[in-house]
Amino acid sequence: MGWLGEQNISLVLSTYRANRLLFIGVGLDGQLKIHERLFDRPMGLFNTEQSLWMAGRSHLWRFDNLLNEGQTYEGADRLYAPAASFLTGEVNAHELVVLENTKPLFVNTVFSCLAELETGLSFKPVWQPPFIDALVPEDRCHLNGLALHNGSPIWATACCSDNAPTSWRQQRVGGGVMIHIPTGEIICSGLTMPHSPRWHEGRLWVLNSGRGELGWVESGCFYSLCELPGFIRGLAFSNGCAVVGLSKLRSPVFTGLPLEEKLSQVSDSQQGICGLRVVDLNSGCILHSLDLPEPIDELFDVAVLPNVREPLALGLKDESIDCLVKLPQVANLVQIRPKTPSDPSQQDSAVARLGLPQQEHDQQINTPSKLQYQCVYQLTPATLAPYSALTFPPLTPGSNALQHLSGELLGVAANHKGLMVGLVIAERNDQGSAVVVSLMVSPEWRHQGIGTRLVAYLGQLLSKEGVQQLTVRYQAPLNGLSVMSRLLKRLHWREPQEDFLLLKGQSDQLAAINWPDRFPLPEGYAIHPWVSSYAKETANIDAPAELRDGLTSPSIEPSMSMALIHQGQLVGWIIADRIHPKAVRYSSYFVEPSHRRRGQGLHLLAAAFRRQHDASIPIARAALSPANKAMLRLTKRHLLPHLSAMNRSLHSGVQLMASNVSSPNTNHL
């Protein structure tokens, strides 16, 4: 994002599901720099001249800058240190601001109020919407956003205007409101899960998150500027542009939103994108994009740091937080050398530092739990429908994933006081094996080993049902372990094996690649549209069988399938299949080795990408076999910088046998 350097700004993001505070800036080498620190459930952010405030699980945090102007630390020109934390209790603090009196004001979502810090109290409530009649921990309207005007709090957003406990959950679509704080008047209604109200350049901006819309409120109406491919939260501005945070739809709270249908029209996944979009406030056009990898699948807030090139923070697990000291009248930071205790035997064991998220422990699978685990039989699309929000990949009614299931479905559920908080489902086939088709734990119950226990109990259930082999296929990031990989490792499944490298790109970005200019097509070569008669000529070409199998597929998209011709002979091709109204899959790509050295294959790709863009089909997908070394080299050398995502498809399995884990109770849906 060279845009950051042009604007002379950097960004800070919060993501509560991944427990990370992210800093995005530009290094001294001009490259994008992303730093992350672990904190417990980071949410709202607010930047002042020398400090950064953050709402956490049960605290408000203040980070202070330790660097003078012109000073750097490890290349960064802003170094934030956790300077103070204020205990509020787990009130689900959302957004926060700092008023002119330097006091923080935060949205206390659990108690449906705005609150301040007060000595001797967890918090001091200072305002509630008029429709809320009691200060009780019931999250009645899901108050979440707060906007300032001339330094004073003027507007707030909520997901409904009801007074019943958690009533917003039943009114997520169309129940959202914008409230004028001084009068208590609802100045705009009919919104869908609104977030991040902001006053900027004479307009009251807001994110209509459940519809993926950035827009503004004027004269009681919401006006949409643009639609974005995700659940949007977090809004900041810089020089005529909006910086918007996007999250994937993975929480049961987000199901049934209009955004799901919109996403299904442009992608074969209804999850959307996690990342950032920079939007031109005049035209609504997306100027810049940044997609974030797993395990980050949601963002809550984004703040702009003006005149900061590369920000950094000291983390709670970083030894520097104990060793670096900032003194008055001293320009450089002072490094303290740790001293060895004179009598280590008198030292108590170390206390875990406050504010860090809890870590998973391998032994949790054998730890007694307050949850009840139950076997689930007789699963059908009808009986599964009420629980489909607790499935991943989604098994929603009418979905392709659900329609492709043909075997018997068996599952294990985790329940808390009668409420299902986790579910794993397997499909049993006739060959004595089964495959895990869905695994999900509610966000608020994650990081407690529940998913691990669900899979372990599933193995027990299937073993008693005579199943001998349990397998799973899943996607993982290109680098590092995914949540599923760590889970399988704890349960001693076989080492996951890679099936495919999964590529995804946006046609506008792919069509803009300048390969034809960099690698002119040599004389004697031509690129023609693919016609079915070319398929016969491939019999004389030494191409892998899997690349020839799809050349006669009825789903071939002829407008963007191309042939490479040399002196009248077919020497290469690229084949696209239409898999969705807004997406194509490039299923076969091959160029004879003797015709690859001068970029001929890149011309094939460029021609297909341009035609896809001209056809207004935004999404391009492909799956590469690890055995296709030539295509892997081409992807990493030429294509990787232009892709929006690249993941691995992995598979693993385990032989089922008797386990020491006690079986869950029997239950029928």
- Asked whether the beta carbons of 178 and 191 are under 8 A apart, the reply is yes
At residue 363 the predicted structure's pLDDT band, cuts being 50, 70 and 90, is very low
- CA 574/CA 586 separation, integer angstroms: 7
Please determine, for residue 354, whether its predicted confidence score (pLDDT) is greater than 80: no
pLDDT at 435: 95
Q: Which helix (H) or strand (E) holds 486?
A: helix 483-490
Percent of the chain having pLDDT more than 90?
54
pLDDT at 165: 80
Please determine, for residue 342, whether its predicted confidence score (pLDDT) is greater than 50: no
Tell the CATH superfamily of the 502-652 domain: Gcn5-related N-acetyltransferase (GNAT) (3.40.630.30)
Mean pLDDT rounded to a whole number for the chain: 87
Please give the average per-residue pLDDT across 384-390, as a whole number.
83
- Note whether 2-335 and 502-652 share their fold: no
Please determine, for residue 251, whether its predicted confidence score (pLDDT) is greater than 80: no
What are the residue boundaries of the structural domains of the chain, listed by start?
A: 2-335, 362-467, 502-652
Please give the average per-residue pLDDT across 533-539, as a whole number.
83
Q: Answer with the residue of higher pLDDT: 554 or 270.
A: 554
Residue 305 CB burial class (10 angstroms; 0-12, 13-18, ≥19) = buried
Please give the average per-residue pLDDT across 220-244, as a whole number.
96
Percent of the chain having pLDDT more than 70?
91
- CA 193/CA 212 separation, integer angstroms: 10
pLDDT, tens digit (0-9, with 9 covering 90-100), for 558-601 = 889 999 999 989 998 999 998 888 899 998 888 999 898 888 88
pLDDT, tens digit (0-9, with 9 covering 90-100), for 73-85 = 999 999 999 999 9
- What is the greatest pairwise CA distance in the chain? 86
At residue 358 the predicted structure's pLDDT band, cuts being 50, 70 and 90, is low
- CA 8/CA 306 separation, integer angstroms: 7
- Asked whether the beta carbons of 521 and 396 are under 8 A apart, the reply is no
* Dihedral class, residue 129 (left if φ above 0, else alpha if ψ from -120 to 50, else beta): beta
Q: What is the pTM of this model?
A: 0.56
pLDDT at 368: 34
Please determine, for residue 345, whether its predicted confidence score (pLDDT) is greater than 50: no
pLDDT, tens digit (0-9, with 9 covering 90-100), for 78-109 = 999 999 999 999 899 999 999 987 899 999 99
Please determine, for residue 343, whether its predicted confidence score (pLDDT) is greater than 70: no
Please give the average per-residue pLDDT across 519-525, as a whole number.
88
Topology of domain 2-335, CATH: Neuraminidase (2.120.10)
Residue 36 CB burial class (10 angstroms; 0-12, 13-18, ≥19) = middle
pLDDT, tens digit (0-9, with 9 covering 90-100), for 553-562 = 778 888 899 9
- CA 396/CA 186 separation, integer angstroms: 35
**Domain spanning 362-467 has what CATH number?**
3.40.630.30
At residue 665 the predicted structure's pLDDT band, cuts being 50, 70 and 90, is low
Residues facing 261 on adjacent strands: none
pLDDT at 419: 83
Question: SS3 sequence, 544-584?
Answer: CHHHHHHHHCCCECHHHCEEEEECCEEEEEEEEEEEECCEE
Please give the average per-residue pLDDT across 145-155, as a whole number.
96
At residue 344 the predicted structure's pLDDT band, cuts being 50, 70 and 90, is very low
pLDDT at 479: 73
Tokens of 357: 């998220």
Weakest-pLDDT range from 3-17, 37-51, 647-661:
647-661
pLDDT at 347: 42
Weakest-pLDDT range from 182-186, 337-341, 607-611:
337-341
pLDDT at 255: 61
- CA 654/CA 455 separation, integer angstroms: 11
**Segment of 239-248, 310-319, 350-359 carrying the highest mean pLDDT:** 239-248
Q: What b/e readout covers 606-620, taking b as 16+ CB neighbours within 10 angstroms? A: bbbbbbbbeeebbbb
Q: Answer with the residue of higher pLDDT: 242 or 377.
A: 242
DSSP string, 519-549: SPPPTTEEEEE--TTHHHHGGGS---HHHHH
Strands (E), 581-644: 583-591, 619-624
pLDDT at 365: 36
- CA 627/CA 633 separation, integer angstroms: 11
Please determine, for residue 466, whether its predicted confidence score (pLDDT) is greater than 90: no
Q: Which helix (H) or strand (E) holds 501?
A: strand 497-506
